[in-house]
């Protein structure tokens, strides 16, 4: 995993390094209210921030700070990037957890009901809902919920962050797409499990249907479901960028978008690296979870 994280850091810094444009000129232009900075001021800014150094030197200096928890200073505000991330991170985590709970709460019952009643109206309704959820872009659904629930019905606030009422619409917006994907997977995994020989044996013993479905079938269908839920974390973090912009939540998404437009590269690098690390660590944790869900899975290498 250490090699993967090192690769993520190298790719993150390298992509920002080769991005066209001069951050020194852009930042100075913004600070001067749109006036063109002098060549001397641009050179002074580049020298002060080490932008004239070769790529290996810049990367080594940046990584030296990262391993100590220091992502550098913002070009625009001169604030600590680490402090800015720590300030915004709770709002993004809150949105990610809420949207994941929404997705699971919708997808698991819908997928199970669809698999237990194949070809029924329930099955068709669940599949149609999943197709609709996959097809709708986050920003479109977000604006639709704002129009209906905030402007027409005046139930939830339009934008911002704070109490529970500020979290409902963003969580529904982000969770609906994940729910669609998970619903289809739960249905497929449950259909395979319900068709297995051990399920027929359990039914022949006279076990209640709910015990057969939830204790035997669903437990064995969890491995692929947990895999996709873990992978959906990347969808949550990517989708949070769009959703936070739509609802103007002060999280990592809005911080990243503002930094991109301002060419504030230390913030872009810090947020991108953090998201990559979270994704890698989450997938590693999902791999470790397999053994508990299915003892037949062994992560140890087979002897040569």
Same domain, 41 and 177: no
36 within domain boundaries = yes
79 within domain boundaries = no
286 within domain boundaries = no
96 within domain boundaries = yes
Same domain, 237 and 179: yes
For residues 158-179, give the mean pLDDT: 89
In this prediction, residue 296 has a pLDDT band, given cuts at 50, 70 and 90, of low
Closest CA to 181 of 237, 121, 127: 127
278 within domain boundaries = no
Instruction: Tell whether the model's pLDDT for residue 146 goes beyond 60.
Output: yes
Same domain, 30 and 100: no
pLDDT at 1: 64
195 within domain boundaries = yes
Same domain, 176 and 38: no
In this prediction, residue 121 has a pLDDT band, given cuts at 50, 70 and 90, of very high
Same domain, 139 and 228: yes
Instruction: Tell whether the model's pLDDT for residue 205 goes beyond 70.
Output: yes
DSSP notation for 115-126: HHSTTSHHHHHH
Q: What is the mean pLDDT of the chain?
A: 85
289 within domain boundaries = no
Same domain, 186 and 242: yes
Model pLDDT for residues 10-50, shown as the tens digit of each residue: 888 888 888 777 788 888 887 787 788 888 888 888 888 88
Model pLDDT for residues 232-280, shown as the tens digit of each residue: 776 787 788 889 999 989 999 899 988 888 888 899 889 988 888 888 8
The sign of the dihedral angle between the CA atoms of 55, 58, 61, 66 is negative
Query: What is the C-alpha separation between 271 and 108, in angstroms, rounded?
Result: 32
pLDDT at 31: 78
Q: Which domain holds residue 150?
A: 89-262
pLDDT at 232: 78
153 within domain boundaries = yes
Same domain, 58 and 156: no
Answer with the residue of higher pLDDT: 5 or 138. 138
pLDDT at 78: 84
Count of the separate structural domains present in the chain? 2
Same domain, 168 and 19: no
The model's pTM is 0.83
pLDDT at 297: 59
pLDDT at 125: 93
Same domain, 149 and 183: yes
Instruction: Tell whether the model's pLDDT for residue 300 goes beyond 60.
Output: no
Query: What is the C-alpha separation between 57 and 74, in angstroms, rounded?
Result: 19
- Identify whether the C-beta of residue 182 lies closer than 8 Å to the C-beta of residue 111: yes
Query: What is the C-alpha separation between 39 and 25, in angstroms, rounded?
Result: 9
Instruction: Tell whether the model's pLDDT for residue 149 goes beyond 90.
Output: yes
Same domain, 247 and 131: yes
Query: What is the C-alpha separation between 121 and 201, in angstroms, rounded?
Result: 28
End-to-end CA distance of the chain: 23
Same domain, 2 and 66: yes
Same domain, 65 and 141: no
In this prediction, residue 301 has a pLDDT band, given cuts at 50, 70 and 90, of very low
203: domain CATH number? Answer: 1.10.3720.10
Query: What is the C-alpha separation between 279 and 230, in angstroms, rounded?
Result: 9
Answer with the residue of higher pLDDT: 290 or 130. 130
For residues 169-177, give the mean pLDDT: 92
């Amino acid at each position: 995993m250490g090699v993967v994280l090192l690769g993520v850091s190298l790719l993150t810094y390298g992509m920002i390094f080769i991005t066209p444009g001069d951050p020194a000129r852009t930042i100075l232009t913004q600070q001067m209210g749109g006036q063109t900075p002098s060549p001397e001021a641009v050179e002074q800014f580049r020298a002060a921030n080490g932008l004239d150094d070769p790529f290996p030197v810049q990367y080594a200096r940046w990584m030296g700070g990262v391993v100590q928890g220091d992502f550098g200073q913002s070009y625009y505000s001169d604030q600590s990037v680490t402090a800015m991330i720590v300030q915004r991170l709770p709002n993004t985590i809150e949105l990610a957890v809420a949207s994941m709970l929404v997705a699971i709460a919708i997808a698991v019952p819908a997928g199970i009901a669809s698999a237990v009643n194949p070809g029924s109206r329930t099955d068709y309704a669940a599949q149609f809902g999943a197709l609709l959820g996959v097809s709708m872009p986050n920003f479109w659904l977000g604006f639709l919920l704002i129009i209906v629930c905030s402007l027409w019905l005046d139930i939830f606030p339009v934008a911002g962050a704070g109490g529970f009422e500020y979290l409902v619409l963003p969580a529904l917006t982000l969770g609906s797409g994940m729910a669609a994907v998970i619903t289809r997977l739960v249905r497929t995994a449950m259909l395979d499990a319900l068709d297995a020989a051990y399920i027929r044996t359990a039914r022949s013993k006279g076990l209640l249907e709910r015990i057969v479905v939830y204790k035997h079938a669903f437990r064995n269908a969890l491995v692929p479901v947990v895999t996709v839920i873990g992978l959906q974390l990347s969808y949550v973090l990517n989708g949070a960028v769009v959703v936070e912009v739509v609802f103007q939540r002060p999280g990592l998404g809005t911080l990243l978008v503002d930094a991109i437009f301002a060419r504030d590269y230390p913030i872009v690098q810090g947020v991108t690296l953090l998201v990559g690390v979270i994704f890698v660590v989450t997938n590693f944790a999902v791999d470790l979870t397999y053994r508990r869900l299915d003892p037949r899975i062994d992560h140890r290498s087979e002897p040569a």
